[in-house]
Amino acid sequence: MNSAAKQNVDYKILIRVIAQAKPYSAVLSLAAVLAVVLAPVAIFRPYLVQVMVDEYIFKFDIPGLTTMALLFIGALVLESVLRYFFMYSSNWVGQAVVRDLRVKIFNHITSLRLSYFDRTPIGISTTRTISDIENINQVFSQGIITIIADFLTVFVVLGVMFWVSWKLTLVCLVTMPFLIAATYIFKESIKTSFQQVRAQIAKMNAFLQERLTGMRIVQIFNAEEQEMKKFKKINREYTQANIDSILAYSIFYPVVEIISAATLGLMVWYGARASLGNEVTLGALVAFPLYLNMLFRPIRMLADKFNTLQMGLVAAERVFNLIDRQDHIKNEGEISPEKFNGEVAFKNVWFAYNGLDWVLKDISFEIEKGETLALVGSTGSGKTSIISILNRLYDIQKGAIEIDGVDVREYELSAYRSRMAVVLQDVFLFSGTVLENITLRNDHISKEQVIEASKMIGAHEFIEKLPGGYDYQVMERGATLSMGQRQLISFVRALVFDPDILILDEATSSIDPESESVIQHAIETLIAKRTSIIIAHRLSTIRHADKILVMDKGLVKEYGTHEELLQIEDGKYRELYEMQFLQVGVA
In the complex, least distance from residue 129 CB atom to ligand UTP, rounded to whole angstroms:
23
Min dist. Cβ of residue 537 to ligand UTP (A) = 8
Q: Of 381-389, 462-470, 539-547, 577-585, which segment contacts ligand UTP by CB under 6 A?
A: 381-389
Helix axes 176-213 and 224-276, enclosed angle (nearest 10): 160
Q: In the complex with ligand UTP, which residue's Cβ is closer, 165 or 385? A: 385
When the beta carbons of 357 and 514 are compared against ligand UTP, the nearer one is: 357
The rounded distance, in Å, linking the Cα atoms of 114 and 246 is 42
State the minimum distance, in angstroms, from the CB of residue 240 to ligand UTP.
37
- Measured distance CA(585)–CA(133) in Å, rounded: 62
What is the Cα–Cα distance from 256 to 296, expressed in whole angstroms?
8
Which one of the spans 260-268, 299-307, 383-391, 400-408 is the region binding ligand UTP (CB under 6 A)?
A: 383-391
CA dist 287 and 290 (Å) reads 5
- Nearest CA to 521 out of 484, 468, 556, 483 is that of 484
Q: Which residues contact 285 (CB under 8 A, 6 or more apart)?
A: 268, 271, 272, 275
**Smaller CB separation from ligand UTP, 113 or 211:** 113
Q: How far apart are CA 299 and CA 296, in angstroms?
A: 5
Give the nearest distance from C-beta 384 to Mg ion in angstroms.
Answer: 3
Q: Kindly list the distances between the CA atom of residue 295 and the CA atoms of 18, 154, 160, 161, 390, in Å, as whole numbers in the listed order.
A: 28, 6, 11, 10, 67
Show the DSSP H helices in 112-213 as ranges: 114-119, 122-127, 133-138, 144-164, 166-173, 176-213
Out of 384, 515, 540, 580, the residue judged to bind ligand UTP by CB under 6 A? 384
Shortest Å distance, C-beta 338 to ligand UTP: 31
Nearer to Mg ion, 508 or 517 (CB): 508
379 binds, among ligand UTP, Mg ion, none (CB under 5 to 8 A by kind): ligand UTP
383 binds ligand UTP (CB under 6 A): yes
> 59-118: which residues touch ligand UTP (CB under 6 A)?
118
Q: How far is CA 157 from the centre of its chain?
A: 43
Rounded Cα–Cα distance for residues 436 and 443 (Å): 10
Least distance to ligand UTP, CB of residue 353, Å: 4
* Residues whose CB falls within 8 Å of the CB of residue 376, separated by 6 or more in sequence, listed in order: 383, 536, 542, 548, 549, 550, 551, 573, 576
143 contact, one of ligand UTP, Mg ion, none, CB 5-8 Å limit per kind: none
- Residue 382 or residue 478: which is nearer to ligand UTP going by CB? 382
Q: How far lies 454's CA from each of 229, 488, 490, 507, in Å?
A: 48, 8, 10, 19
Interface with ligand UTP in residues 336-355 (CB under 6 A): 353
Contact between 426 and ligand UTP (CB under 6 A)?
A: no
Under 8 Å CB-to-CB from 263, ≥6 apart: which residues?
A: 172, 174, 175, 292, 296
Shortest Å distance, C-beta 347 to Mg ion: 23
294/576 with CB nearer ligand UTP = 576
Count of positions on this chain that bind Mg ion (CB under 5 A): 1
235 versus 384: smaller Cβ distance to ligand UTP: 384
CA distance 339 to 331: 19
CA distance linking residue 131 with residue 205, whole number of Å: 11
What binding mask, one character per residue, do residues 381-420 give for Mg ion by CB under 5 A, x or -?
Answer: ---x------------------------------------
Among 94, 283, 289, 382, the residue binding ligand UTP under the rule CB under 6 A is: 382
Residue 240's binding partner, choosing from Mg ion, ligand UTP, none, with beta-carbon cut-off 5 to 8 A by kind?
none
Of positions 188, 380, 524, 581, contacts ligand UTP by CB under 6 A: 380
- Residue 511 is classified by DSSP as -
Q: Is 50 in the site for ligand UTP (CB under 6 A)?
A: no
Residues within window 359-388 making contact with Mg ion, judged by CB under 5 A: 384
CB of 358 to ligand UTP, least distance (A): 10
| Per-residue buried b or exposed e for 28-59, using 16+ beta carbons within 10 Å of the residue's own CB | bebbbebbebbbebbbbbbbbbbbbbbebbee
Query: Which of 503, 489, 484, 384 minimizes the C-alpha distance to 430?
Result: 489
When the beta carbons of 505 and 558 are compared against Mg ion, the nearer one is: 505
Distance CA 486, CA 409 (A): 32
Shorter beta-carbon distance to Mg ion: residue 46 or 382: 382
Binds 382, which of ligand UTP, Mg ion, none (CB < 5 to 8 A, cut-off by type)? ligand UTP
Q: Nearest-CA neighbor of 501 among 462, 534, 532, 546?
A: 532
Beta bridge partners of 305: none
Residue nearest to Mg ion (CB): 384
Indicate the residue whose CB is closest to ligand UTP.
384
Find residue 534's DSSP bridge partners: 374, 504
Per-residue contact string for residues 115-144; x = within reach of ligand UTP by CB under 6 A: ---x--------------------------
Q: Considering the complex, what minimum distance in angstroms separates the CB of residue 551 from ligand UTP?
A: 6
Least distance in angstroms from the C-beta of 114 to ligand UTP: 8
> Using CB under 6 A, which of the segments 306-314, 337-345, 379-387, 516-524 binds ligand UTP?
379-387
Spatial CA neighbour of 346 closest among 294, 307, 382: 382
Least Å from the CB of residue 380 to ligand UTP: 4
Closest CA to 31 of 83, 76, 74: 83
Nearer to Mg ion, 341 or 384 (CB): 384
Minimum Å gap between C-beta 425 and Mg ion is 5
Sole binder of ligand UTP in the list 3, 8, 222, 379 (CB under 6 A): 379
Pairing of strands 398-403, 344-351: antiparallel
Q: Give the distance from CA 101 to its chain's centroid.
A: 10
> Does residue 502 belong to the site contacting ligand UTP (CB under 6 A)?
no
Binding positions for ligand UTP, rule: CB under 6 A: 118, 353, 359, 377, 379-385, 425
Q: Where along the sequence are the contacts to Mg ion (CB under 5 A)?
A: 384
